Chain A
Amino acid sequence: MLDFISRMLGKDSTASKNVAKERLRLVLVHDRASISPHMLNQLKEDLIRVISNYMEIDESAMEIDLSQDEREVALVANIPIMKMKRDYAARG
């Protein structure tokens, strides 16, 4: 009963503007990333630098990309490890 009343009086939670906002958010992640492959390259270089503090990786086989399903965009990285370093201190 309460549920029925609250549905009558309440806002429709699938209001189309929220759908619009979500779609825009996702589409802009892609737009902004694809406009700047330069940015993804920089990101890749920065990642290599940080990860190399902890392990030796195969830089040539490393893959970084944006993956998208219906509801989210994720940065996915595949980084083959050659060796873990014994000493984790950051090296210059």
Chain B
Amino acid sequence: MGEVIVVTSGKGGVGKTTTSANIGTGLAAAGHKVVLVDTDIGLRNLDVVLGLENRIVYDIVDVTSGNCRLRQALIKDKRFENLYLLPAAQTKDKTAVNPDQMRSLAKDLRSEFEYAVIDCPAGIEQGFKNAIAGADRAIVVTTPEVSAVRDADRIIGLLEAAELHNPKLIINRIRPQMVKRGDMMDITDILDILAIDLIGVVPEDESIVISTNKGEPAVMDPASRAGEAYRRITKRIQGEEVPLMNLDVPDGIMNRLKRLVGIR
């Protein structure tokens, strides 16, 4: 029996789709049979981040409304043995699917896959309710910014109310330089406020932009720092204990001199 993991955040643009693509790809690379599900109906993006946008024939609405079988809608990623995508519909909106249909879909996915990673849309309305309907566990993504943390807090409350207990946190786009200067909240600050378990921290990294440009998730790039963070998160999802990446900024002479004189 597989596990259905929903990746959510509340706030838009904090990295749900990037995170879903990278942990899905990471889990497949580790040998598991994985399906990635895009529930952002009307504003689909998981397909583009994975580089599979040209291969969409059927989508999640086709499946839930019975227009096609699940197998017909699944896109097999040619780069991996076991990675599949169930894309969102682009020409409908989030009312095209309801939570009961999602629960039924989740049941089917559990019997075929070891992991189903559900990319949740931003917000707390129908899209969110659909995405969490069939989930077994939740990952909340936030950035170290006031609005993102505030929205994450709301989402955590809603997850608990929906009996999705013990959600795990990913802090995304952290900038160690700014943290050091006191201009960005650090890991402890955010954990103090949100009070849930941490499953990973991902640094701000230009390689994410490049990986989306090419449609190749950064988790497969050995030179990418964000990719390394996602590799570790993937291990933790499978139950392994892995230390947090060292995000410390190297402290060269010039940096120390600058701080001494008061130049940031």
Contact = CB atoms under 8 A, between A and B. Distances in A.
Interface of A: 8-9, 11-12, 15-18, 20-21, 23-25, 27-28, 31-32, 35
Given A9-B260, A20-B146, A24-B146, A15 B181 contact: yes
B184 A21 contact: no
Interface residues of B, number: 20
A27 B152 CA distance: 13
Given A9-B260, A11-B182, 17 more contacts: A15-B181, A15-B182, A15-B183, A16-B182, A16-B183, A17-B182, A17-B183, A17-B184, A17-B185, A21-B189, A21-B192, A25-B193, A27-B150, A31-B154, A32-B153, A32-B157, A35-B157
Contacts of B183: 15-17
Contacts of B153: 28, 31-32
A17 B186 contact: yes
B149 interface: yes
Contacts of A27: 146, 150
Contacts of B261: 8
Contacts of B185: 17, 20-21
B222 interface: no
Most-contacted residue by chain B among A15, A16, A18, A20 (CB, 10 A): A20
